Amino acid sequence: MPYGVGHTHFSHARIIELAGRPFTTLDEMDAEIILRWNETVGPNDIVLHLGDLALGPIADSLPLTAQLHGRRFLVPGNHDRVSTATQTNRAIERFAPLYEEAGWTIFPEVVSGTRAGSRMLASHYPYSRDTQGEDRHVAHRPIDHGLPLLHGHTHDRENGPVGHQFHVGVDAFAFAPIQMTLVDA
């Protein structure tokens, strides 16, 4: 079964405050996201993570993600150390092995595919809209040619489609990946 998810922010010291997450400590947040992920995703399921996987000391936070079930693919976001949009080639070369050791396959910043007979895109960034008021990282967003888009980046709690964009971040879906059949519907 395929799943989509984004914005886990493992070990990000300020995300509880910034996103208003219902956790009191980082350890509690990380453990709960791992628990909910593994209750949802089976070992052979495919998961497309749309960025901002882990922050904090990356040597500590990335190994946590090795506990997550599924065959895991990362479309990098602005906080990922393998993002061609925000990192140098040297940084990417340095950090890519750490992501791979934790079981991640790194995809390009924008992925094109077909789902339920329709062409669609997946990116960390939405075409437009941001929870910060002003759209950030505009130069790195995909160009809106009317294709459906799965995205992360915002910490919106609203879920489901907004126009032809669909936010799959954990803040909108009880801190767990969502089945792609929900997107299809």
Question: Which domain CATH number covers 133?
Answer: 3.60.21.10
* pLDDT value of residue 7: 87
Nearest 5°: CA angle at 166, between 109 and 26? 75
DSSP string, 18-45: HTT-S-SSHHHHHHHHHHHHHHH--TT-
What are the pLDDT digits (tens) for 144-171?
778 999 988 776 667 667 788 888 999 9
Name the pLDDT band for 69 (thresholds 50, 70, 90): very high
Does residue 74 have a pLDDT over 70? yes
State what percent of residues in the chain have pLDDT above 90.
63
Beta bridge partners of residue 47, listed in sequence order? 3, 72
Radius of gyration of the chain (CA): 15
Helix (H, G, I), strand (E, B) or coil at 110: strand
| Whole-number average pLDDT of the chain | 89
Q: Is the dihedral of CA 42, 32, 18, 86 positive or negative?
A: negative
Per DSSP, helices labelled H in 76-176 are 89-101
What are the pLDDT digits (tens) for 2-53?
999 998 999 998 999 988 999 999 999 999 999 999 999 999 999 999 999 9
Does residue 177 have a pLDDT over 60? yes
* pLDDT value of residue 134: 64
- From the number of C-beta atoms within 10 Å of its C-beta (0-12, 13-18, 19+), residue 162 rates as middle
Query: What is the pLDDT averaged over residues 62-80?
Result: 95
* pLDDT value of residue 117: 87
* pLDDT value of residue 132: 55
Non-local CB neighbours of 163 within 8 Å, separated by 6+ positions: none
The DSSP code for 6 is B
Does residue 75 have a pLDDT over 70? yes
User: Which residues span the domain enclosing 33?
Assistant: 2-184
Task: Give the number of domains in the chain.
Answer: 1
What are the pLDDT digits (tens) for 34-45?
999 999 999 999
Query: What is the pLDDT averaged over residues 164-183?
Result: 91
Name the pLDDT band for 102 (thresholds 50, 70, 90): very high
Query: What is the pLDDT averaged over residues 130-153?
Result: 71
CA 162 from centroid of its chain's CA atoms = 18
Query: What is the pLDDT averaged over residues 51-71?
Result: 94
